Amino acid sequence: MDLEDSMRKSVESTQRTFNTIRTGRANPSLLDKISVEYYGADTPIKALATLSAPDSQTIQIQPFDRGSMSLIEKAISMSNLGLTPNNDGRVIRINIPPLTQERRKEFCKLAAQYAEEGKVALRNIRRDGIDRVKKLEKDGDLSEDQSRDEQAKVQTLTDKYIAELEKHLAQKEADILKV
């Protein structure tokens, strides 16, 4: 069923977005949304460098081209992550400071906002599915009872994926709040 595929992809997309939110630990996926203007094109950092987390408080970036080092540093500094890159000529290191309680709450709100956007996407998919079923009923391809059953299936599927999204949100909030 293509409806279920769309809903699954929507939940996975929201999960990837959750990965860009800082928790107390260093995670290279924090830099996923940052792109660098490299030879006139916006390029993701992971296409320009090897990213790793040698310990829980440090992200290490080793550019493939040393000429791109200053561009990567500038992009990280300009991002809204509040991170300061340090360059030793070969690699860029980013120390991840421990989060304050206030900052953790802000990140929880951001995660809730991303979850809400995911729910809106799921509801839009549900609306499209129900509209398709109603059109089939109107065209005479489905009886009224079959239409009602199909609409109930669409709603059940939507409820299932919204619950899954809520579970991922609760997990992310627990990660953010863990000191």
Residues 106, 90 within the same domain:
no
For 8-166, where are the E strands, in sequence order? Answer: 35-38, 41-44, 49-55, 58-63, 85-87, 92-95
> What is the average per-residue pLDDT within 43-47?
89
48 and 9, same domain (yes or no)? no
Summarize pLDDT for 112-149 with one digit per residue, the tens: 999 999 999 999 999 999 999 999 999 988 888 999 99
Cβ neighbours of residue 7 under 8 Å, at least 6 residues apart? 122, 125, 157, 158, 161
Q: Quote the domain boundaries for residue 42.
A: 26-95
Question: Does one domain contain both 104 and 168?
Answer: yes
Note whether 112 and 84 are same-domain residues.
Answer: no
Output the domain CATH number for residue 150.
1.10.132.20
Give me the mean pLDDT over the 46-59 stretch: 88
pTM for the complete prediction?
Answer: 0.73
Q: What is the CATH number of the domain that holds 87?
A: 3.30.1360.40
Least confident of 73-82, 88-97, 121-130, 154-163: 73-82
User: What is the reported pLDDT for 140?
Assistant: 86
